[in-house]
C-alpha cells in the first residue's frame, strides 16, 4: 500500500497520531542496527533505543517464543522466571535498592513511583524540571512539561529549570552555577511549604535526556538529593531512557553521582516487548504493599521476564556496556573533527551511545539553528540515516542507536553528516 494511502488510513482510524519526518517512513523489517522500508531501501538506525541489543535479536526472539509457547500468565502463581530475573536485575543496582515491582510501560512505572514516594513521605508535592517528559498517565502528565508548555499547571507540582552548562543560568559556570540550580530546588521546596502542600520528592531523568542531554554542573544531583531528603522528600531517578548501559554505565544515576530512593525503568528493558519496573529501597516497597493492594495483570509475566533476561544475557555476552562507552567516545571524537571546520556545531554532548549535537547559527552567539536542525534530520533520512532532534529549541541532533552500533556505522553517520552540513 502506498504512503499517501497509509497516511490517510491512519488519520481516519487513529486521528492525528504523530509521525516522524516530513515524509513519513514505511518500515517493514528490522535487523541489528538496520531498518528496511517497504520500497526495499535500508536505513541505518541511529535513533531507536528500545531495540536495545539490536532489532529482532535472535536470542531475544527465541526466549520470547519459547516462553510464549510454554506458559504466559499473571504473577499470582509461583513461577521462577520473575524471581530469577529480579535477582539478576537487583544485582546491577545500588544495594539499598532491593525490591522490585513490575509494570508494562515507563509511564506506569513513574506513576507507581509517585504513589510510593507520596505514601512513604505522607506528602504530595513533586518537583520536576521544566522541560522533562515522564509519561502519559494523568499523574505523570502533570510532571511532564515538555508537551504542555513551560508552566506549572498542577498545584502539587513545581518545575525547576533543567541544569545546563551550555546556556547556563545568569551566565554562571562551575560551582556558582551548581549553587544557582540548587537554589531553584530550595525555592521549589519552600514554595510548597508556603502553599501548605506537604513535600513528597523530586523526579528527574538521571541524564536529563529529554532536556537535550545537557552537561550537568558538577555535584548538582548529589546535593539536590540531600536538599530533598532534608525536607522529608524522596529522590526518584527515571531511568526509562537512561538505564541499561547506554551511557557506558548500567545506570544513569551512577554516572551523575547520586543514589536515588526509587528507580524506574522500561524502554530498552524488553528490547521492544512492553516490560517495565520500579525498584526502590526495600522498606518503601514493603510499607506500600502493606497498605495498598497493588496488582498488575501483565507486569512481570513469564514471557516479559524471559525476554528481559535474554536482554541482559546479550548485553553481558556481547560486552555492550563497554562497547557503548568506547563507540560513543569515538563518535564524539569524529564529530569533533566536523566541529573544527563548521561553526554551526555549537556543542557535542552525551555519554556512551547517547549523543547530542547542538546546532547554532554561529558558535559565538549560540543562537539556536532550529530550522537547520530540522533540515539536517530530514536530509539525513533521505540519505538512509535515521536520527531526530530534541532540546528547548529543537536544535539538538539526538542519536541513540541500538547498542551494537559499531565504528563502521559511526563513520557512515559522521561522513554523511559532514556532507549534509556542507550542502545546507
Ligand atoms: C524519561 C522518560 N520517562 C518515561 C517515559 C514514558 O515511557 P512509556 O512511553 O513507556 O510510557 C518516557 C517516554 O518517552 C521517557 O522518555
Is the minimum distance from the CB of 103 to ligand 1 under 6 angstroms? no
Is the minimum distance from the CB of 141 to ligand 1 under 6 angstroms? no
Centre of ligand 1 to C-alpha 139, Å, is: 13
Which residue's entry shows cell 531512557?
241
Is the minimum distance from the CB of 112 to ligand 1 under 6 angstroms? no
Query: How many domains does the structure of the chain reveal?
Result: 2
Sheet holding 385-386, edge to edge: 27-31, 34-37, 42-45, 385-386
Of 255, 285, 317, which residue constitutes the final position of a domain?
A: 317
Is the minimum distance from the CB of 388 to ligand 1 under 6 angstroms? no
Is the minimum distance from the CB of 210 to ligand 1 under 6 angstroms? yes
Same domain, 299 and 391: no
Give yes or no for a contact between 338 and 414, defined as CB atoms under 8 angstroms apart.
Answer: yes
| 338 falls within a domain | yes
Of 136, 210, 267, the residue with max ligand 1 atoms within 8 A of its CB, to mutate for a pocket test, comes to 267
Is the minimum distance from the CB of 134 to ligand 1 under 6 angstroms? yes
Q: Closest residue (by CA) to atom 15 of ligand 1?
A: 134
| 41 falls within a domain | no
Centre of ligand 1 to C-alpha 2, Å, is: 31
Is the minimum distance from the CB of 240 to ligand 1 under 6 angstroms? yes
Is the minimum distance from the CB of 208 to ligand 1 under 6 angstroms? no
Same domain, 253 and 145: yes
Q: How does 265-276 read in b/e, with b if 16+ C-beta sit within 10 Å?
A: bbbbbbbbbbbb
Same domain, 179 and 269: yes
Give 375-380's long-range contacts (Cβ < 8 A, gap of 24+). 375/424, 376/417, 376/420, 376/421, 376/424, 377/21, 378/21, 378/22, 378/23, 379/420, 379/423, 379/424, 380/416, 380/417, 380/420
Give CA 117 to chain center in angstroms. 21
| 358 falls within a domain | yes
Instruction: Point out the ligand 1 atom lying closest to the alpha carbon of residue 209.
Output: 1
Is the minimum distance from the CB of 402 to ligand 1 under 6 angstroms? no
Same domain, 329 and 281: no
Is the minimum distance from the CB of 110 to ligand 1 under 6 angstroms? yes
Same domain, 285 and 390: no
What confidence tens digit (pLDDT) does each residue in 114-157 have? 999 999 999 999 999 999 999 999 999 999 988 765 555 799 99
Range of the domain at 368: 319-424
Which residue's entry shows cell 540515516?
385
Q: What is the pLDDT of residue 147?
A: 77
Q: What is the pLDDT of residue 149?
A: 58
Q: Which three cell numbers stand for residue 94?
A: 545500588
Q: Closest residue (by CA) to atom 13 of ligand 1?
A: 135
Q: Closest residue (by CA) to atom 3 of ligand 1?
A: 134
| 34 falls within a domain | no
| 50 falls within a domain | no
**CATH code where residue 263 lies:** 3.40.640.10
Helices (H), 132-173: 138-141
Instruction: Point out the ligand 1 atom lying closest to the alpha carbon of residue 108.
Output: 11
CA distance 24 to 18: 10
The whole-chain average pLDDT of the chain stands at: 96
Query: Which segments of the chain have a pLDDT < 70?
Result: 148-152
Is the minimum distance from the CB of 107 to ligand 1 under 6 angstroms? yes
Of 301, 317, 333, which residue constitutes the final position of a domain?
A: 317
Same domain, 153 and 296: yes
Same domain, 216 and 309: yes
Same domain, 275 and 355: no
Helix axes 302-317, 58-68, angle to 10 degrees: 160
What confidence tens digit (pLDDT) does each residue in 269-287 have? 999 999 999 999 999 999 9
What confidence tens digit (pLDDT) does each residue in 158-186 have? 999 999 999 999 999 999 999 999 999 99
Is the minimum distance from the CB of 165 to ligand 1 under 6 angstroms? no
What confidence tens digit (pLDDT) does each residue in 229-261 have? 999 999 999 999 999 999 999 999 999 999 999
Q: What is the pLDDT of residue 152?
A: 59
Same domain, 117 and 266: yes
Of 291, 317, 343, which residue constitutes the final position of a domain?
A: 317
Q: What is the pLDDT of residue 415?
A: 98
Centre of ligand 1 to C-alpha 32, Å, is: 23
Same domain, 309 and 366: no
Give helix then strand counts, H and E, for the chain: 13, 15
Q: Closest residue (by CA) to atom 4 of ligand 1?
A: 134
CA distance 398 to 376: 11
Same domain, 215 and 342: no
Instruction: Point out the ligand 1 atom lying closest to the alpha carbon of residue 135.
Output: 6
Same domain, 328 and 189: no
Strand pairing category for 125-129 and 97-103: unpaired
Amino acid at each position: 500500500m502506498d504512503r499517501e494511502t497509509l497516511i490517510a488510513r491512519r488519520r481516519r482510524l487513529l486521528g492525528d497520531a504523530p509521525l516522524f519526518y516530513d515524509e513519513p517512513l514505511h518500515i517493514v523489517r528490522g535487523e541489528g542496527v538496520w531498518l528496511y522500508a517497504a520500497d526495499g531501501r535500508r536505513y541505518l538506525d541511529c535513533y531507536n533505543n528500545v531495540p536495545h541489543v539490536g532489532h529482532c535479536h535472535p536470542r531475544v526472539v527465541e526466549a520470547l517464543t519459547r516462553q510464549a509457547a510454554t506458559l504466559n500468565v499473571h504473577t499470582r502463581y509461583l513461577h521462577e522466571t520473575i524471581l530469577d530475573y529480579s535477582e539478576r536485575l537487583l544485582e546491577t543496582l545500588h544495594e539499598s535498592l532491593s525490591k522490585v515491582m513490575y509494570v508494562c510501560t515507563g509511564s506506569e512505572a513513574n506513576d507507581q513511583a509517585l504513589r510510593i514516594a507520596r505514601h512513604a513521605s505522607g506528602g504530595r508535592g513533586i518537583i520536576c524540571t521544566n522541560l522533562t517528559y515522564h509519561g502519559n498517565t494523568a499523574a505523570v502528565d502533570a510532571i511532564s512539561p515538555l508537551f504542555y508548555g513551560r508552566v506549572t499547571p498542577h498545584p502539587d507540582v513545581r518545575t525547576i529549570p533543567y541544569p545546563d552548562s551550555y546556556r547556563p543560568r545568569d551566565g554562571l559556570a562551575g560551582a556558582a552555577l551548581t549553587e544557582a540550580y540548587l537554589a531553584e530546588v530550595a525555592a521549589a521546596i519552600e514554595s510548597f511549604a508556603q502553599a501548605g502542600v506537604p513535600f513528597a520528592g523530586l523526579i528527574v531523568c538521571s541524564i536529563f535526556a529529554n532536556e537535550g542531554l545537557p552537561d550537568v554542573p558538577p555535584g548538582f544531583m548529589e546535593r539536590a538529593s540531600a536538599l530533598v531528603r532534608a525536607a522529608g522528600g524522596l529522590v526518584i531517578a527515571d531511568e526509562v531512557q537512561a538505564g541499561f548501559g547506554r551511557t557506558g554505565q548500567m545506570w544513569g544515576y551512577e554516572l551523575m553521582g547520586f543514589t536515588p530512593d526509587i528507580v524506574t525503568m522500561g524502554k530498552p528493558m524488553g528490547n521492544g516487548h512492553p516490560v517495565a519496573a520500579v525498584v526502590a529501597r526495600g522498606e518503601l516497597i514493603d510499607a506500600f504493599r502493606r497498605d495498598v493492594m497493588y496488582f498488575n495483570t501483565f507486569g512481570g509475566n513469564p514471557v516479559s521476564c524471559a525476554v528481559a533476561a535474554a536482554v541482559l544475557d546479550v548485553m553481558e555476552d556481547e560486552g555492550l556496556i563497554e562497547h557503548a562507552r568506547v563507540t560513543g567516545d569515538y563518535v564524539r571524537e569524529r564529530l569533533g573533527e566536523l566541529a573544527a571546520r563548521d561553526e554551526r556545531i555549537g556543542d557535542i554532548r552525551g555519554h556512551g551511545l547517547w549523543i547530542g549535537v547542538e546546532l547554532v547559527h554561529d558558535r559565538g552567539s549560540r543562537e539556536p539553528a532550529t530550522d537547520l536542525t530540522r533540515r539536517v534530520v530530514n536530509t539525513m533520512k533521505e540519505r538512509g540515516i535515521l536520527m531526530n532532534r530534541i532540546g528547548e529549541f529543537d536544535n539538538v541532533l539526538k542519536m541513540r542507536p541500538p547498542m551494537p552500533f559499531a565504528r563502521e556505522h559511526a563513520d557512515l553517520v559522521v561522513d554523511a553528516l559532514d556532507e549534509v552540513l556542507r550542502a545546507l
